[in-house]
Amino acid sequence: MSSQSPRRVVSVLTLFVLVSSSLAAAAAAQTEPEAQPPTTHGVCSGPDVGGRCHSVPRALRLKLIAIPAILLASMLGVCLPLVSRSVPALRPDGDLFVVVKAFASGVILGTGYMHVLPDSFNDLSSPCLPRRPWAEFPFTAFVAMLAAVFTLMVDSLMLTFHSRGRGNKASAAVAHHGHGSPPPQVHLHGHGHLDDMSEPAASTEAVGKVEEDDVEAGRRQLLRNRVIVQVLEMGIVVHSVVIGLGMGASQNVCTIRPLVAALCFHQLFEGMGLGGCILQAEYGARMRSVLVFFFSTTTPFGIALGLALTRVYSDSSPTALIVVGLLNAASAGLLHYMALVDLLAADFMGPKLQGSVRLQLVCFPAVLLGAGGMSVMAKWA
């Protein structure tokens, strides 16, 4: 990997954080509540100011606890797989690592289906929005579908460009090596020597061809693993900023208290899934540090941003609901594609699991356990 790749990834991830936080914050930050249009459906209710659960000092205390707690849980989760090489049982070629990765993939799948997608449905079907067009068209499902197709397009095009680049380099090398050099002449004396010499030469050529194919397949798989990591991180970053912003701006103690614990577990297990992907991508120490930093800090950054916008944030604002809902829908589509296609399908259809029915029967419950755990947490987060 080139030395400029970490800079490129840092730039892209920073751009995603800034764009998602800026869109959410700019849409939600309003000095006065917007006048609700007459075409809204249902009852639009804002924050329960003065209620039993509304307490600014207690909410602030919980948020200040949440920032370091979520930061530590995120770092622990994403770093655990990265230090697993020192444990023989947890190496990427071991059965236990495959089971743990299946559990973590189930967590990512559950995050998309049980956390991000319902949030988008709630936002875009809110009674605070005009009935037309938001109640007349399933925008959440539409945007999630487009995001999944866009992720497929990015995945496919990056692999295609890489393959063409490798093919051009190989062709140039062959042309350069063969230019102006005639095939070697072999002078034989006697009978039967031609067959004796041609068979070892053909065998050596076949072995060399197989080794070359294996090397190229390994390079393609490595590139695919790196594409998976970068796209998955982008989807997680968008969702993390949005959920952190909402939590940081809320003054509802009854909502924040269970959300702190739920988000710690959520970041821990989601980090394990991302960390396993980073490990398989075989990045260097600098690139790993960049990916760990962005995953660990985006949710605390969102909480801090929400704290700064507490006085002007309105989570029932139509503009805020639309922007946050669309961001969550796009993130959900991306996570669905990555979990099902690039993680679960790639592993279960790969040679490791296809060669062992017993390992498959262990990995299926691991996936269900990860997705089920995130489904239970959806009650609070």
pLDDT in tens, 5-44: 566 666 666 666 666 666 665 655 553 444 444 445 556 7
What integer is the mean pLDDT of 128-143? 91
What's the chain's average pLDDT? Answer: 79
Q: Which of 67-71, 368-372, 376-380 has the lowest mean pLDDT?
A: 376-380
Q: What are the residue ranges of helices labelled H in the chain?
A: 5-28, 56-79, 95-110, 117-124, 131-134, 139-178, 193-249, 253-281, 285-308, 318-337, 346-348, 351-354, 357-377
Q: Kindly report the length of the chain.
A: 381
Q: Which of 120-134, 194-208, 348-362 has the lowest mean pLDDT?
A: 194-208
Instruction: Tell me if residue 43 falls in helix, strand or coil.
Output: coil
Instruction: Break the chain into its structural domains and give their ranges.
Output: 69-161+219-380
What pTM value is reported for the model? Answer: 0.74
